[in-house]
Structure 1
Amino acid sequence: MLRFVLAAVFLGSASAASLGVVYTEGGMVEGEHKSLGLLHSMDVFRGIPFAAQPGRFEKPQPHPGWDGVLKATKFQKRCLQLDFTQTSTMGSEDCLYLNIWIPQGTQVSTGLPVMIFIYGGGFLMGGSQGPNFLDNYLYDGTEIAHRGNVIVVTINYRVGTLGFLSTGDASGPGNYGLWDQHAAIAWVYRNIKAFGGDSSNISIFGESAGAASVNFQILTPHNKGLIRRAISQSGVALCPWAINRNPRAIAEQIAKKVACPTDEKLMSCLKMVDPVQLTLAGPVKLKGSPEDPVVFHLVLSPVVDGDFLPDDPANLFPNAANVDYIAGINNCDGHMFTGLDVPSINQPFHHTEPAVVKQLLTTFTKDKGEEAVTLGYQAYTSSWGDKPSQETIKRTVVDLETDYIFLVPTQTALYLHAKHAKMAQTYSYVFSMPSRMPGFPSWMGADHADDLQYIFGKPFTTPLAYLPRYRDVSKYMIAYWTNFAKTGNPNEGESSVPTQWPNFTSTNNLYLEINNKINTDSVKQRLRTRFVYYWDVTYMDLPTVNSTSPK
C-alpha cells in the first residue's frame, strides 16, 4: 500500500509540468494549467494581445505592453462584426488577441512545432475561439495539441467593413485583416520559444476565408522566413470570392449609407463614423438566385494593393516556393451556397429544373458569352442521359457551384505551387465524410465547414454526440495535419496514419480522399479533370465579350 501511495504521489508530481509565468515582449503572462490524466497536461493562454487596438483603417501597431502579470485565462472579444441576425453587431475594435495551447508531459515542453489557425467566415465574421455551446468552443486547440504533440495558436483579425473596406488607392488601401494575421504570425515567431515552441517550424492552417488567408499569407513577400508550412481547407487566393477587383464601388456604397461623401473626403469621413454603423453598412446578402448567386456578394474581401499583395495572387506563387503546402476541399463544399441560390435542392418534394444548370453557367461565364454556356452545359450534362433523375440534377447543381467556388481554384493553386516549388512539397485532398446535418438529401457528402469538427477533435471532447466512425476520421485528420506540421510530410511524424498520402505534382495529379474508411484505394488521381479543364482551359481560352462580369 505504501509503495502504491508513493507511486501515485510521484506520478502526480511528474504530470504537473507547467510553464507558469511566461515572459513575452509585452510583459509577463500567466495562463491556466489543466490535467489531461496521468503524465499529460495542457497549458492554455487565452487573450494575449499581439498588437495594440488598431486605428481605424490602419495597419496594426505593436502593443505598448503592460505592468505586472497579465492573467491570460479568458477569451477576449472577437473583432467587431455583424451578429447572426445581420441586424445588430457583436465584438469590439479592441480585438487583436491570440490564444495558445501547449501540451506538457513529465517535463516542460521545448522545441515543439507550432500550428496557427486562421478562422473563416467570408471575411465578414468569425473569432479565434469559434462558436461555442456553453464552454465547448469549436476552435479549442486541446485535442490537436495533445494528440499531435504540437503547440496550437488561434488568432483574431478584423473582418467586414473595418477589416476589408478599400478605396483602391492610397487613401484606403484595404487588407487590414490580412495585416492583422501577419502581425499575429510575426508575434508568434518572435515569442513562441518562451512557450516551448520552435520558431523555425511554424505552420498556418485555416478554413474557408481562413484557408484563402493562409494562401495569401504564404504569397505575400512580407512573411518571408516566418512560415514553414501551410494548409488551406476549402479556400485559396484564386477563389472568385477571395479578391475584390472593384473595391471603390463598395466603398462608395458604404459611404452613402453612412452619409459620407464619395469624393476625396470619403476615407476621412468614414474614420469619424461610429464603428457599429460602419459595420452595419457592410453589404450582406444571404438569399440568392441562379441569376444573382450569393457568392457574388462576398465583396468585403482582400484586394491587390501593391503592398501586402504586390500583384495578382496567381503571379505570386514563387514567394511560396519553399513553403510546404496542403490544399483541399470538401466534396460538397458548394452545397451551403447552392442551398441559398437554389432552395429546391434541399426540398425532396420540389423539382429542380435542368435549366438551373444553364442559368448558373450563364451567370458564372457572363464575361465569355453564349459559347461558354453551351460548352459548359455539355460538360456538366454529358452523363445525364435522356431522363435525368432529380438526384442527378440536384447533385449536378451542387457540383457546379462546388467546382466554381472552391474545387477548380484549389486545383489551380496546387498546380501553381507544385510548378514553382523548390524544396517544398505539395499535397492535395478531398474530404468526403457525409454531413451529419439533419434534413439534408441522402446523397449529400461533406458540406462546407463540415471538416472543422474533426480537425479540432470534437468526436473526442463530446463523445456522446458522435459514433466511433467519426472518431476514426478525426484521429486520421489530426495525425496527417500534425505530422505535416512536424516534418512537411503528412505520413512522417509521431502519429500513425492509415495509408501513405503521396505528394501532388503537375503530372501525377494525385490526391487523398479523406473519410473514416481510408485505405490504399483512397489515393486517387486527376480530380474532376474534365471540369477543371473546362474552367482552366476551355473557358479561359474563349474571347471576352463582356468586361462588366461580376467576377
Structure 2
Amino acid sequence: MALLGICVAVAVFLEAVSAVTLGVVYTEGGMVEGENIRLGYRRHVDRFRGIPYADIPGRFEKPRRHPGWDGILKAKDYRPRCLQLNLLMTDTRGSEDCLYLNIWVPQGSSVSTNLPVMVWIYGGGYLVGGSMGANFLDNYLYDGQEIADRGNVIVVTLGYRVGTLGFLSTGESDLPGNYGLWDQQAAIAWVYRNIRSFGGDPSNITLFGESAGGASVSFQTLTPHNKGMIRRAISQSGVALCPWGIIRNPRRIAEEVALKVNCPTDSRMAACLKMTDPYLLTMAGTISMQSSPDQPLVNNLILSGVVDGDFLPDEPSKLFHNAADIDYIAGVNDMDGHLFTAVDIPSVNSMLVDTPIEELRRLLASYTKDKGKAGEENAFSTYSTGWGTNPNRETIKKTAVDIGTDYIFLVPTQAALYLHKANAKTGRTYSYLFSEPNRMGGLITPYPSWMGADHADDLQYVFGKPFTTPLGYWPRHRDVSKYMIAYWTNFAKTGDPNQGDSEVPARWPEFQGDSEQYLEIHHNMDNTYIHQKMRLRYVHFWASILPSLPSLSNETKSE
C-alpha cells in the first residue's frame, strides 16, 4: 500500500514538472510569458492576461499598432478596464491605457496546435464593461478557462473604449465616432496575425458576445474591414438592427455633452472636446436610469454605433452581403426585456399589485409613437389577442415583459437572421431561445415566480460558472452550462453546433426554408425543444404591419 502511494506521488510529481506549456511566446510586439495552470491529470491551461493589442489610444482617434517592448512581458494580471462610469454613475473607474486582451490555451498531453479561436466581446450598453467582467472573490465572470478546457478551444477576451470616449460622434469627419468598434476590430486583426504563436488557427476565428457585445459581433461581421478574418459569429441578446444599435442623431448628443463640459457647439466643438479632461467627458455621458411615459429606458441608451461611411459604410441592414461566408448563431433570452420593462412599469415585479392595462398601452405608445394612435391601437390589439374578457394579473405582467423583449431584442434578432440567411453563400444560420428560468425567481427577491431568463442570465452558463463555483448552483444548472459550452464550441470548430468533440442533447437544425426552426435551450432539453417561426405573430407586427402604417410626419404633410 505504501509502495502504491509512493508510485502515485511520483507520477503526479513527474506530470507536474513535465507540464505541457507554451512557455515564452513570441508576438509581433515582443515576447510574452503567461501562467500554466494545472486542472487535472494531463490537463493544463496556459493563461495570458494583459497583452497589449494596440497603443494607448489618442482621444477620439482610431487605435494604432503597439510599438512593442523589450525583454519578456509578464502577462499575468488583468489590465484596467477602459475609462468609464461606475455602476452608480457617481464617479469613474478605469484608464485610457486599456487596449489589452487575455488568452486561455488548453493543453493536453502535447502542446496544442491549430485550435479554433473564440473571441469574446463584452456587453454593458456601450457604457460600462471590461475584458474580465464582474469579479467576486477573484472569480471573474469572463474567465475563459472553463470554455477552453471543456471545449478544447482558445478563448480570447478583449477590452475596448466605452461611453463618450468610445462612441461620441458629431456625425462629421471631425468626430466620426465608432472608436470602440475600431478597438474591437484592431483586437480581431491582432488575433488573426498572432494567434498561431499560441497554438491557434487564424483561419478559424469565432466572435461571440452578449447585449452590446452581441451587437458588436454583428457590426464586426458587417463591416468590410474584417474581410477574411472572421469565420463564424455568435450574437447573444443583441444585433446591429436593435433599436439601440445605431444612433440616428449623434450631433444632438455631442452638443449635450459639449454644453456639460463648457465647450462651444459650433465648428470649434470637436477641437474643444478633444482637449477636455477625460474624467469630465466620461461623467458627461451619464444616462438617466429613470423612464417616463414617452421616454422608455431603452431610449436612454444614447451612445452607440453610427453610420460613418467608413467602419459602417451604409445602414447595417444593407451590409449583410459582407457576412455571406460567415456562419452565424443569433438568439435571445425568453424574458430579455424584463430588465428594461421593470423600470418602465415597476408594478411588473410586484406579486401583490396589479399592473394597469393603461401602463401597457403607454409603453406600446412610446415604442410606436412615430405611428401615432394607429400604432398604439394595432400594437395593443396584437398583444391582447387571446387574453379573454378578464385577463389575470400574471398574464398582464408577462405581456408587458414580452413587449419589451420583442421590441428591444427578439424582433431585431429575427430580422438579422432573415437577412443573414437571405445573403448567405457558404455561411450557415442558426437561431435559439434561451429559457432557463432565472435563479432568483420565486425567492424573496424582486423577481416574480413566473420569471424566465432575464437579460444576461445566459452569461454564467456560457462561461461555466456552475462548474467554477458549484456550491452556488444545482445539478440542472451544470447541465445547461454543459450544453451551451458544447453547442458553442462545436460551432466554433465546425460551423455546425451539433458536430464536434462534445455531445449535445438535441440536434439543432439550421434556420432555413419556410420552417425557420430554432432551438430552445433549457436544462432538460431534448428533441421536443426544436420549434419553428419564433413568435411569428409579433415579429410580423413589428416587421411588417407597423412599418406599413402612415407615419405622423407624413400625415402632417398631407394635412
TM (norm. structure 1) is: 0.98
**Partners of 2:164 and 2:513 in 1: CA distance:** 38
**Partners of 2:287 and 2:9 in 1: CA distance:** 62
**What's the CA shift for 1:11?**
3.8
**What's the CA shift for 1:537?**
0.5
1:489 alignment partner in structure 2: 496
Greater CA deviation, 81-90 or 361-370? Answer: 361-370
Q: 1:448 aligns with which of 448, 455, 472?
A: 455
Aligned pair 1:467/2:467, yes or no?
Answer: no
2:527 alignment partner in structure 1: 520
TM alignment of 1:120-269, pairs within 5 A:
120-269=123-272
In 2, are the aligned partners of 1:294 and 1:340 still within 8 Å (CA)?
yes
- Which digits, 9 at most, give the CA deviation of each residue in 1:378-407, with x for residues without a partner? 110011111111101110000001000000
1:386 alignment partner in structure 2: 389
1:119 alignment partner in structure 2: 122
- Which digits, 9 at most, give the CA deviation of each residue in 1:470-524, with x for residues without a partner? 0000000000000000000000000000010000015221000001011010000
SS of the residue corresponding to residue 429 of structure 1 reads strand
SS of the residue corresponding to residue 400 of structure 1 reads helix
**Partners of 1:72 and 1:395 in 2: CA distance:** 47
**What's the CA shift for 1:8?**
4.1
- The runs of 4+ residues in structure 1 deviating greater than 6 Å are none
2:110 alignment partner in structure 1: 107
**Partners of 2:25 and 2:438 in 1: CA distance:** 41
- Which digits, 9 at most, give the CA deviation of each residue in 1:73-108, with x for residues without a partner? 000000000001101000000000000000001111
Aligned pair 1:479/2:497, yes or no?
Answer: no
Q: 1:347 aligns with which of 343, 350, 371?
A: 350
In 2, are the aligned partners of 1:46 and 1:99 still within 8 Å (CA)?
yes
AA at the equivalent of 2:216: S
In structure 2, list runs of 5 or more residues that go unmatched: none
- Which digits, 9 at most, give the CA deviation of each residue in 1:513-544, with x for residues without a partner? 00101101000011100000000110111122
**What's the CA shift for 1:136?**
0.2
AA at the equivalent of 1:449: A
Aligned pair 1:300/2:307, yes or no?
Answer: no
Aligned pair 1:398/2:401, yes or no?
Answer: yes
2:57 alignment partner in structure 1: 54
**Percent of pairs identical after alignment?**
63
**Partners of 1:394 and 1:427 in 2: CA distance:** 30
**What's the CA shift for 1:283?**
3.8
AA at the equivalent of 2:94: G
In 2, are the aligned partners of 1:50 and 1:187 still within 8 Å (CA)?
yes
1:532 alignment partner in structure 2: 539
**Partners of 1:319 and 1:418 in 2: CA distance:** 12
**What's the CA shift for 1:289?**
3.3
SS of the residue corresponding to residue 428 of structure 1 reads strand
What value does the CA root-mean-square deviation take over the aligned residues?
1.2
- Which digits, 9 at most, give the CA deviation of each residue in 1:239-264, with x for residues without a partner? 00010000000000000000000011
1:545 alignment partner in structure 2: 552
2:331 alignment partner in structure 1: 328
SS of the residue corresponding to residue 356 of structure 1 reads helix
In structure 1, list runs of 5 or more residues that go unmatched: none
**What's the CA shift for 1:128?**
0.2
SS of the residue corresponding to residue 367 of structure 1 reads helix
In 1, are the aligned partners of 2:51 and 2:100 still within 8 Å (CA)?
yes
- Which digits, 9 at most, give the CA deviation of each residue in 1:424-471, with x for residues without a partner? 100000000000134211111000000000000000000000000000
**Partners of 1:326 and 1:281 in 2: CA distance:** 36
Greater CA deviation, 290-299 or 121-130? Answer: 290-299
SS of the residue corresponding to residue 500 of structure 1 reads coil
Greater CA deviation, 521-530 or 362-371? Answer: 362-371
AA at the equivalent of 1:518: M
AA at the equivalent of 2:174: S
SS of the residue corresponding to residue 351 of structure 1 reads coil
In 2, are the aligned partners of 1:103 and 1:150 still within 8 Å (CA)?
yes
2:90 alignment partner in structure 1: 87
2:316 alignment partner in structure 1: 313
TM alignment of 1:366-385, pairs within 5 A:
366-385=369-388
- Which digits, 9 at most, give the CA deviation of each residue in 1:310-339, with x for residues without a partner? 000000001000000000000000000011
Q: 2:100 aligns with which of 91, 97, 116?
A: 97
Aligned pair 1:281/2:284, yes or no?
Answer: yes
In 1, are the aligned partners of 2:217 and 2:234 still within 8 Å (CA)?
yes
**Partners of 1:526 and 1:424 in 2: CA distance:** 20
TM (norm. structure 2) is: 0.96
